[in-house]
Structure 1
Amino acid sequence: MPVRLKKFLGAIILIVLVVVYAVLATAFATVYLAESSGWIHLAYFLFTGLLWILPAMLVIKWMETAPRR
């Protein structure tokens, strides 16, 4: 796969990942943490705010790998 196409697809995947992840994390917090204290919300959003980095790192690693010849 050409490098330019790989980076374009990776950028699209990253945008979709962030949007879907943010919507799902917020929906989960709205449904299950509505009555929780502010400290629980802080811990949850701190954790989920950092958790999306793991799949994003995999996508970026894939984008940066050299094409096979």
Structure 2
Amino acid sequence: MTDPRPGLSPRVRKFIGTVLMVVLVVVWALGAMALAQGRVTTLPGIWQFFAYVVLGIGWVFPAGIIIRWMQKHDRRTDTL
């Protein structure tokens, strides 16, 4: 008999989300370092400031989407 409410269990969703978060942080950090060492240094001071702000906290928005997905309420009652 199949489950009438398909979907990932919270445990699997959190594992996948954790892996995605690690990948996001590593890729974002490497990309930010590459941009900060190259293109950002050639900008005027005020634009450098804004670039560093975006590079520094820009990863929070995609991470928030991943966290929201990880914490999504599961309708199944047989899993923790």
Query: Which stretches of structure 1, 4 residues or more, deviate above 6 A after TM superposition?
Result: none
Tell me, in whole angstroms, the C-alpha distance in 2 between the residues paired with 1:49 and 1:33: 13
- Alignment partner, residue 32 of structure 1: 39
Please tell me whether Structure 1 or Structure 2 has the larger radius of gyration of its CA atoms: 2
Count of paired positions: 69
Give the superposition deviation at 1:61: 0.3
- Alignment partner, residue 16 of structure 1: 23
Structure 2 unmatched ranges of 5 or more? 1-7
Structure 1 unmatched ranges of 5 or more? none
Identity of aligned residues (%): 33
Alignment TM-score, normalising by the size of structure 2: 0.70
The answer to which of 31-40 and 45-54 deviates more is 31-40
Tell me, in whole angstroms, the C-alpha distance in 2 between the residues paired with 1:39 and 1:21: 22
For the aligned residues, what is the CA RMSD?
A: 1.8
Tell me, in whole angstroms, the C-alpha distance in 1 between the residues paired with 2:62 and 2:30: 16
